[in-house]
Amino acid sequence: MVKDIELRQEKDGNYFVFSLLAIVTIGILIGYLYEILAGKIYFVVSVGSVILLFLALFFASKNDKKLLFLIKRPFESDTRISYLAFVMGFLLIIVLNLLFSLTQSQFSLTQLYSPIFFSSSEGLSSGISQSFSASMIENSPFTTFFYTVIVASVQEEFSFGLVLIVVGYMIGRLINSFSGEKFGRNFSLFVAFIVAIVGFAIIHKLNASYIGIMFFYAGLFRAILNSLIYFANFGLAFTIGLHMSNNLWVYVLQFGIQWFVIVLYLLILLGFVLVLLPNKKSGNIDALIRKVSREVMSRN
């Protein structure tokens, strides 16, 4: 019976991240159709990401196992474990920010992580950077919340945690192919990480307070996140949780706690409770713990 539950759990798809992508896509399309500037911006980002992804895949070999690994790894878990990874990432930012606040540290996770927010010498009251300013989101505080917290976290992780990795990998493959494969088997993977890291650092030009070595720190942070996705098997859900929690922290400091912020916290808590509840398809909490342990051990 236990084996049957575990086998069924192995076949359970990862619907959580795909559901987030679907929600964000619908939100972006609505924003674009209603001519909300933030919607237009993310429409361009999302369409550009999809085009880059398809162009990269167009030149790909069907038998390229490393490319298949790069595409599957961000989603490679079942729904329950994926959601737990999301909650882990979400809580990690809260805990770290609280620790930095208690120790009165000048270190800012917001500056390190998010390219669309900045803390100037005037503090967080200076708001969101000009390129993604709140004035771009004309309709309501909820629209501002939706694009800066939900859309930004999901879309940017999709772009930097998957799309640029695949694009960079294919660039590496082309370079290696034209050079007669003299750079070795892992060169393409190296280029994939470099492209994602450099892209993430460059987009921080939108962050008005970034200077000098701070771009290096942003790139290093992206390298750590992508390593967690591809080598530690945390998946996109974990980094989406980090990103969403970070942007939500800044949003609350900027605009205060509003009803939809409370609703988001309650939905995350409700999802966590539902994940822990036993069900016929995935088994009980013991089966979940065994699955998590098995995945962890398989990566060691």
Choose among 254, 239, 297, 275: nearest CA to 92: 239
| pLDDT on residue 1 | 35
| pLDDT on residue 2 | 35
| More confident site: 129 or 296 | 296
If DSSP codes are grouped into helix, strand and coil, which group holds residue 31? Answer: helix
| pLDDT on residue 186 | 81
If DSSP codes are grouped into helix, strand and coil, which group holds residue 120? Answer: strand
pLDDT at 20 over 90: yes
- Where along the chain do its domains lie? 2-295
| pLDDT on residue 223 | 87
| pLDDT on residue 202 | 77
Distances (CA, A) of 106 to 110, 128, 206: 11, 19, 21
**pTM, entire model:** 0.80
Per-residue pLDDT of 112-143, as tens digits, reads 555 544 443 333 333 334 334 433 445 578 88
| More confident site: 25 or 103 | 25
> What are residue 117's DSSP bridge partners?
128
Of 42-51, 87-96, 123-132, 227-236, least confident by mean pLDDT is 123-132
| pLDDT on residue 131 | 36
| pLDDT on residue 206 | 61
What φ, ψ does residue 128 adopt, rounded to 5°?
-90, 150
Cβ contacts of residue 59 below 8 Å, gap of 6+? 170, 173, 174
Q: Which amino acid is at 5?
A: I
The string of DSSP letters for 193-212 reads HHHHHHHHHHHGGGSTT--T
Per-residue pLDDT of 184-225, as tens digits, reads 778 888 899 999 988 887 776 665 556 667 777 778 888 888
